[in-house]
Structure 1
Amino acid sequence: MLKQLKNVAGFIGTLSYGVLFVTFIFQVVLRFVFNKPLAWSDELIVILYVFSMFWAGAFMLKEKDHVMLDIVYEHLGDQGKRVFCITYSLIIGGLFLWAIPASYSYVSFMMREDTPVLGIPFAYVFSAFILFLAAIGLFYIRKLVILFGSSWKEEVGAVPHDPKNAESVE
């Protein structure tokens, strides 16, 4: 079931970015080859870009694909990594979940404003941001559950020492 949801999320993200790309090429051809610029294509590209970035950040990227500063983290022991993961999961997840009500209120408020050319309510344009906040917040709640469970070493990347394997860590 989870794999099917990931496939659907990947399809939606790929489709939105594909439509963005085709619209961009269409716009370039009309503007520079036929000297017939289109107003709606610029707006559609921006809307699809906003949607695609938040959608991909929420549902398509793995944690290791997000920007991370692991200079200190890599030099910590297993327990230190666990404390570090718990701390940043509480901070990041907490902030994202804390931001949902105010963000939802603002996005709902934007229902009264429409995009200039296509007339799409801005609430629809930025609704992917609410999904982004919720997905990342829930991801870190899940991570906290794992970090407080028995399989926390796998979550922090602890590798048992193996003298035959040069990549193992003590």
Structure 2
Amino acid sequence: MPFLRWLKIGADSVAVLFLAAMFCSFMLQIIFRYLFNHPLSWTLEACLITWLWTVFWGCGLLLRDQDHVRFDILYLAAPHKLRRLMAGLAAVIFLVAYAVSLPATADYIEFMKIESSSSLKIRLDYIFGIYLLFVLGVLGRYFWRLVQIIRDQDFETGISHSAEHYSE
């Protein structure tokens, strides 16, 4: 498990670098616009690109299930067997949806190599390529969740309240 811990630390560090780059770009824009009256065109683009990468990197690789927003009132009110069925069905739906979309998504991202960003001149396939990593992360997460559900292991990690808690 130490290898997985180092992987997590590395992925967290990359997210921190994205946020730091976005913050520095944002601060440069403020300084140049308001102190020197000379706005920089590339800083807005840098902020947008680093924000895009931060969101997809974080959601695809870093956030745990309990970190995502959930609408689970009915799920929590259901008995364990029904929750297991609901979770399994949701995992299968996500797996199928993302797997079906993967070839067309990859094809479109590959097509975008003909375009570049306006200020930084970065090819758009490089910019939007993070979405493929996000999809692969989601597929891996839901595949592992489905395995846990089938084995009836602890697939509800992060559920802090049981249905009994709501009825008290």
**TM score, norm. by length of structure 1:** 0.88
Structure 1 position 8 matched with structure 2 position 4? no
Identity across the alignment (%): 26
Match of residue 64 from structure 2: 62
Match of residue 156 from structure 1: 156
Q: Secondary structure at the match of 1:72?
A: helix
Q: Secondary structure at the match of 1:57?
A: helix
Matches within 5 A, 1:33-72: 33-72=35-74
Give per-residue Cα distances to partners, 1:104-144, cap 9 Å, x unaligned.
Answer: 00000000101111110000000110100110011101111
Distance of 1:32 and 1:93 partners within structure 2? 48
Match of residue 92 from structure 2: 90
Provide runs of 4+ in structure 1 moved above 6 Å.
none
**C-alpha contact (below 8 Å) 1:93/1:139 kept by paired residues:** no
Query: What is the identity, as a one-letter code, of the residue corresponding to 1:156?
Result: E
Distance of 2:82 and 2:120 partners within structure 1? 52
**C-alpha contact (below 8 Å) 1:13/1:56 kept by paired residues:** yes
TM-aligned CA deviation for residue 150 of structure 1: 4.4
**C-alpha contact (below 8 Å) 1:78/1:156 kept by paired residues:** no
Distance of 2:25 and 2:81 partners within structure 1? 50
Match of residue 29 from structure 1: 31
Structure 1's 150 and 86: CA in aligned 2 closer, same or farther, altered over 3 A?
A: closer
- Equivalenced residue count is 159
Distance of 1:127 and 1:109 partners within structure 2? 11
**C-alpha contact (below 8 Å) 1:23/1:41 kept by paired residues:** yes
**TM score, norm. by length of structure 2:** 0.89
**C-alpha contact (below 8 Å) 1:89/1:144 kept by paired residues:** yes
Structure 1's 63 and 125: CA in aligned 2 closer, same or farther, altered over 3 A?
A: same
Distance of 1:76 and 1:15 partners within structure 2? 42
Give RMSD over aligned pairs. 1.7
Query: What is the identity, as a one-letter code, of the residue corresponding to 2:107?
Result: S
Unaligned runs of 5+ residues in structure 1 are: 160-165
